[in-house]
A and B are shown apart, each in its own frame.
Chain A
């Protein structure tokens, strides 16, 4: 046998050339969805097997390319974590029970924008937004209702909350206590990733420095008190949704993580104490191989950073544990039932990528808050993949694919190059404040849109294979309709709570909070005291606003 390199050359110059001379390839150049060049064929030459132990290794061992745990889905399937929350607390409670009864294994709460921004439901700025994109929470009473009949020692709850995360976590702790569940037993996650709010999602309140302080207060408090809590879910998902490509998504997520870890160390926390409680989130976009390679590269690059840069010793600090979810921006409003297929592909990428928890989007979410039937299909999609497809029978089944391994290496290399640029600027906070990150994302976003305009990127039903439709899809849909009465009911409930509580205790807790802030101490204990006194989200945030002021981020267009 000739050696492989010579043999490949022979094939390219004979068999392949003859075919291409007769009929050329469909396109001039093939790339991944993020623009990484893709060759016609990958062979062992692209990934020498001698690198196996160094680059790929075994699941649950450094560098974790193949997965964070040794047995992965053969031991335990991923958590099917569906995102829900809307209207008032009673409705969210009903949706949660609906999901739990149907086999959902983790809860994920969406809060409305006033709650995320520290505004009470009766704040004039909240008008029109109460209970719209998530559930409205003003006081502990709302949180009590959300979890009525749901024992907190038997579910894990993920909360998409950032600027006001300390308040919502405090409420969760208080509800647990009422149910007789100690905070040491609570499991779940606070997103608590404020940096990506500045660059992508927009629900920041305070300037970057005090925002980081609050985020780290949760990390520090949970260390001794809520040891099983995932204190942060450092998210690339939103960065991707804002227009970043796969490499930027990964690089910026890791740059955010590096910043938090550095800040925690500056507080005197040891990396091996807090790093095991950090979790991560990446999106599921369109290109299956690119996404799987991104997840594999993420695990490996992160483990290397933790070891090389931070000197972490505890293997748990190396684990890039992830929650991944359908990128809503890949869904299409035209011929909306096709989204069921797209979401199935998201779940496929997630499972092949070895995530710990997966969210699948609902096909109708481009129109409104998902209907119950669409929510059921989204969950069933994951169950079909888990139980009918054979996907979960072995670990990291795409490992060893010449293409996927090569793409994994390429994504790691490109993400590392970004991290070096960010370091050279003085770190992620500087890169954000200088507008570098926003501009990079904006340029990718525009490039993407232009390739859709030109038809180079095909979106079925949108720029190709269109139907003449007078929105027949939407008309046929059993669309969820937000109840316009929610806002009024929520306001009434809030004034009832305000009237009933001890005003002295609220005032005393709030003035202690102001004192704690001025002494630059951890706010968690006093925030817990304040929520137990039924102080509102707006009142607690108000104390912080007077201390730190509000931030307005410049916009780059």
Chain B
């Protein structure tokens, strides 16, 4: 199943913060698109406000954020809070270089899953499908 109801799964991917390493998230973007999802990538150096605006405007089902600069504890909660305040119940997934010890706190904030380096991209596809089908 690639569809929620009768439309394609819509995913917004973003590099939040100042870090420009976008190889990982672009790889994920390609895999999600190849799996039939509609992918919007807002590019590097997106601010939390820009991401929230874009996610609401595009009415996405999933928001994926990629981190490598060590600023995830500051910026991820800001995006998640922003989305919730605007009433968007999108599935939030995070990825990148994120220390193990930070994961519980990020999940508490509302991240459904944190994917670490070495994750096969297909696993991310399956996770998104599985989570959206349950709902």
Contact = CB atoms under 8 A, between A and B. Distances in A.
Contacts of B74: 127-128
A556 B45 CA distance: 15
B27 interface: yes
A482 B23 CA distance: 24
B70 A445 contact: no
Given A133-B70, A202-B44, A479-B99, A333 B117 contact: yes
Interface in A168-208: 197, 201-203
A-side interface mostly: loop
B99 A368 contact: yes
B45 to A, nearest CB: 7
A424 interface: no
A82 interface: no
A368 B17 CA distance: 17
B19 A202 contact: yes
A202 B22 contact: yes
B109 to A, nearest CB: 14
A129 B70 CA distance: 7
A442 interface: yes
A41 interface: no
A455 to B, nearest CB: 11
A392 interface: no
- Number of chain B interface residues as a range: 20 to 34
Contacts of A241: 23
Interface string A234-245: 000000011100
B63 to A, nearest CB: 16
Contacts of B100: 367, 471, 474-475
Contact of B27 (A197, A203, A369, A449): A449
Pick the most buried of B18, B43, B73: most chain A CB atoms within 10 A of its CB.
B18
A557 B30 contact: yes
B129 interface: no
A482 B70 contact: yes
A125 B39 CA distance: 26
A411 B22 CA distance: 27
B112 interface: no
Contact of B18 (A117, A197, A242, A332): A117
Interface string A330-342: 0011100000000
B71 interface: yes
A132 B70 contact: yes
Interface residues of A, number: 46
A45 interface: no
B-side interface mostly: loop
Nearest to A114: B18
B69 A133 contact: yes
A474 B21 CA distance: 22
B26 interface: yes
A557 B30 CA distance: 6
Contacts of B71: 127-129, 132
Contact of B44 (A129, A445, A555): A555
Interface string B35-64: 000010101110100000000000000000
Contacts of B29: 557
A445 B27 contact: yes
B3 interface: no
Pick the most buried of B29, B47, B117: most chain A CB atoms within 10 A of its CB.
B117
Contacts of A445: 23, 26-27
Given A202-B20, A462-B118, A125 B30 contact: no
B1 interface: no
Given A128-B71, A133-B70, A242-B23, A449 B121 contact: yes
Interface in A314-351: 329, 332-334
A132 B39 CA distance: 30
A540 to B, nearest CB: 18
A133 B67 CA distance: 12
A366 B26 contact: no
Given A446-B30, A474-B99, 11 more contacts: A114-B18, A128-B17, A132-B70, A133-B69, A201-B21, A242-B23, A333-B117, A474-B100, A555-B26, A557-B30, A557-B41
24 contacts: A113-B19, A113-B69, A116-B18, A126-B18, A128-B74, A129-B70, A132-B70, A133-B68, A133-B69, A197-B20, A201-B21, A202-B22, A203-B20, A241-B23, A332-B118, A333-B117, A333-B118, A442-B26, A442-B30, A446-B30, A452-B120, A471-B100, A555-B26, A557-B39
Q: Which 10 A-B pairs have the closest CB atoms?
A: A202-B20, A128-B74, A128-B71, A132-B70, A113-B18, A557-B29, A555-B43, A129-B71, A202-B44, A333-B117
